[in-house]
A and B are shown apart, each in its own frame.
Chain A
Amino acid sequence: MKLLKYATYRLLQSIPVLIGISIITFLLANLGPGDPVSLMLQGQEQNEALVRAIEQRYGLNKPLHERYLTYMGGLLEGDLGQSIHYRRPVTDLILERVGPTLLLVLSAYAFALVTAIPLGVIAANKRNEPSDHASRVAALIGVSTPSFWIGIVLILIFAVKLEWLPSSGLIYPWRPPSTYRSIDGHLELYYQSLRHLLLPMIALGTLQMATIMRVERTQMIESLQGEYVKLARAYGVPERTILRKHAFQVAQLPIVTIVGANLSTAIGGAVIVETVFNINGMGQLFVDSIQQNDYQLMMGVTMMLGVLFVLGVIVTDISYAYIDPRVTYGESE
């Protein structure tokens, strides 16, 4: 139960962080240029009385701190206010859009881990051989190429030229579009879902993959030089087992850290990849909110991304404590 206690402790610790995020986003959204009232009155005849009435209704005539407190009050009840552009509750919009983004980010990480870890291990094992050099070049390219460019190139090759994969949109297994409802069986649905996911997943995951691969290689090389590997060899442990178990296990600890630390890059990247692939996720919602000067939506999405990031970091910390026996759960022994 130490784990549960630690998790609770970390969740409580995150409250001040979230309050901080809320203050900063609130200030940025409200002090930024653009006037929400004129946005609401777009195309209509503007008169003083109408503007006053709208300001009255949304509480825009009150001082900033009072408005913040009102906003926080709503936040505690799960009410993120009303989107001006969509004319719907922000909470509803976010709940609709958070699924695709999570699907994209998580599958990008899955892709990155599944490819990067074996490649990193191979590179470490074949240190300074051609395959190691090849992986180094590939990683360098992966790190230095922006995800939108990778996305566009992937679309050009696999969607436009070869016509193997669709170029835009996602299909969510939990919310199949009407065109696929007629298709019999879940298998086809999952297949279509995967086909749509493949390109954006690779576009978003490449950066993570390249980073993880380099860290994996470095860690494996270090681990393979460890005294415990020498000991295992001296006791006749086969080289395979040393690579897969003795050296490998120790080398994975920093990978967890990297995954957690890069979460912000991944979420930021998702915003761009969603735009490139026309995916209706949080990223697109965010871009819309900025373009439409929809300050309620902007705050809502930022808060939500902040919560996702904080949760991700907590999960990282907990799994670190779970994997590494030397990390204690914040209590002295």
Chain B
Amino acid sequence: MSSEPLLRVENLKTQFFTEEGTVRAVDGISFEVREGEIVGLVGESGAGKSVASMSIMGLVESPGEIVGGEITYKGETLFGLEEGPDGELRERDDMLSSEEIRTRIRGNEIAVIFQDPMESLNPVFTVGGQLREFIELNRGLPEDEARTEAIDMLREVGIPDPEERYDEYPHQFSGGMRQRVLIAMALACEPSLIIADEPTTALDVTVEGQILDLVDDLQEKYGTSFIWVTHDLGVVAEICDRVNVMYLGEIVEKAPVDDLFYDTKHPYTNALLNSIPRPDRTVTELEAIEGVMPEAISPPSGCRFHPRCPDAREVCKRAHPEAKTVADADGEPHQAACVKHDAFDAGYDQSSPLEGAAVDAGPAAVEEPESELTANPAGDDSGGEQRE
């Protein structure tokens, strides 16, 4: 597939200007979504996944702001900067105005499914009414046709008796059913791309399985592309075609899903994989990732993962690697941002191991097998920068 991708994000930077300082929530990420594929955006809480997806929609809330990069969707510029005559960066002329993004992009081109189905629906309007409103708005249908469409869509996502349930309120629906409604909303607007921001995190495992099956079926039927934001590698394995692993605002590994799991190139991805329970391995103890993710307000020098990295050496404190292609996966590049790969030539092999490196003491024991990847539930404060 050499044609222009549906969505291209290049060197996107989104920052939050807080009183404590500038939070570089998304710090130069690039990825693309092609037609009909599900792209995963994976990482711990705070890695910048949600901010990245909201940046695409132009919905970053104050004090946040996109400060750099370019977002192109179907050949149109959703965000782009250029250098003005005064040397200051300014928004490019071909960039869509916020009004154009609202009317032409949001909903009818790019739709979202949010994380929390309990809170995402408005409690004082009927489920059908909310669905109908978005259909009317984004497809320009008259009220009665939008209503029919809404009921059909509710049936499509597996809600029984859609005619009756159309007039019910969100509190009369279970969590799983509400998430189905949100999926119906997204699909009913007939977008080309759906951003699913941790859509199954709030659901129990059985319902999560049902929802994933549903999305798989519907994705096949409608051919919609997805950006699937999650911290759950199990979900990624089940649903995604290609995966971007994020750490502290950066994409550290990027690969087709099978290569990511079977030919892991970045120590962080590796650590993530080791920290989830796997049925094909008998383990008595799970390996949690040492420490907690540092704040994006003052990221560690060099490679941002080095304070927690089991493979870290002296060079990692200095060299800040950009993701480079380190392997070829059937014509797809497999990229990773780690200097231990030959492609970087940063002198990793000659560099001496870090003193008191994180994982020398052996893997930390985690009593309960948590699916949430946020490491070290004991709340070890010594994580991050302090270990330098």
The answer to whether B119 touches A226 (Cβ under 8 A) is yes
Instruction: Report the Cα distance A230→B195, complex, angstroms.
Output: 14
B residues adjacent to A (C-beta < 8 A): 57, 59, 102-103, 105-108, 111-112, 114, 116, 119-126, 133-134, 137-138, 169, 171, 182, 185, 189
The answer to whether A236 touches B137 (Cβ under 8 A) is yes
The answer to whether B185 touches A326 (Cβ under 8 A) is no
Instruction: Report the Cα distance A246→B103, complex, angstroms.
Output: 18
Our pick among B111, B123, B124, B126 for the contact of A235 (Cβ within 8 Å) is: B111
CB closest chain-B residue, reference A237: B137
CB closest chain-B residue, reference A235: B107
> B172 to nearest A CB, angstroms?
8
Our pick among B114, B123, B138 for the contact of A236 (Cβ within 8 Å) is: B138
Contacts of B122 in A (CB 8 A): 226, 228, 232, 246, 249-250
Q: Give the interface centre of A227, A235, A326 by most chain B CB atoms within 10 Å.
A: A235
Given contacts A231-B112, A235-B185, A236-B106, contact A250 B124 (CB under 8 A): yes
Our pick among A234, A253, A323, A326 for the contact of B57 (Cβ within 8 Å) is: A234
The answer to whether A325 touches B169 (Cβ under 8 A) is yes
A residues adjacent to B (C-beta < 8 A): 226-228, 230-238, 246, 249-250, 253, 323-326
A226-B122, A236-B106 provided; 17 other pairs, C-beta below 8 A? A228-B121, A230-B120, A231-B114, A232-B122, A234-B59, A234-B106, A234-B114, A235-B106, A235-B185, A235-B189, A236-B105, A237-B137, A249-B124, A249-B125, A250-B122, A324-B123, A325-B124
Instruction: Report the Cα distance A186→B238, complex, angstroms.
Output: 76
Instruction: Report the Cα distance A235→B135, complex, angstroms.
Output: 9
The answer to whether A228 touches B119 (Cβ under 8 A) is yes
Instruction: Report the Cα distance A234→B60, complex, angstroms.
Output: 11
> B257 to nearest A CB, angstroms?
27
Contacts of A233 in B (CB 8 A): 59, 106
Q: Give the interface centre of B120, B122, B138 by most chain A CB atoms within 10 Å.
A: B122
The answer to whether B106 touches A325 (Cβ under 8 A) is no
Instruction: Report the Cα distance A230→B116, complex, angstroms.
Output: 11
24 contacts between A and B (CB under 8 A): A226-B119, A227-B114, A227-B120, A228-B121, A228-B123, A230-B59, A232-B122, A234-B59, A234-B106, A234-B107, A234-B112, A235-B138, A236-B102, A236-B137, A238-B102, A249-B124, A250-B122, A250-B123, A250-B124, A253-B124, A323-B124, A324-B123, A325-B124, A325-B171
The answer to whether A236 touches B107 (Cβ under 8 A) is yes
Instruction: Report the Cα distance A48→B317, complex, angstroms.
Output: 108
Instruction: Report the Cα distance A78→B344, complex, angstroms.
Output: 96
Our pick among B111, B114, B169 for the contact of A230 (Cβ within 8 Å) is: B114
Instruction: Report the Cα distance A327→B367, complex, angstroms.
Output: 43
Contacts of B121 in A (CB 8 A): 228, 231
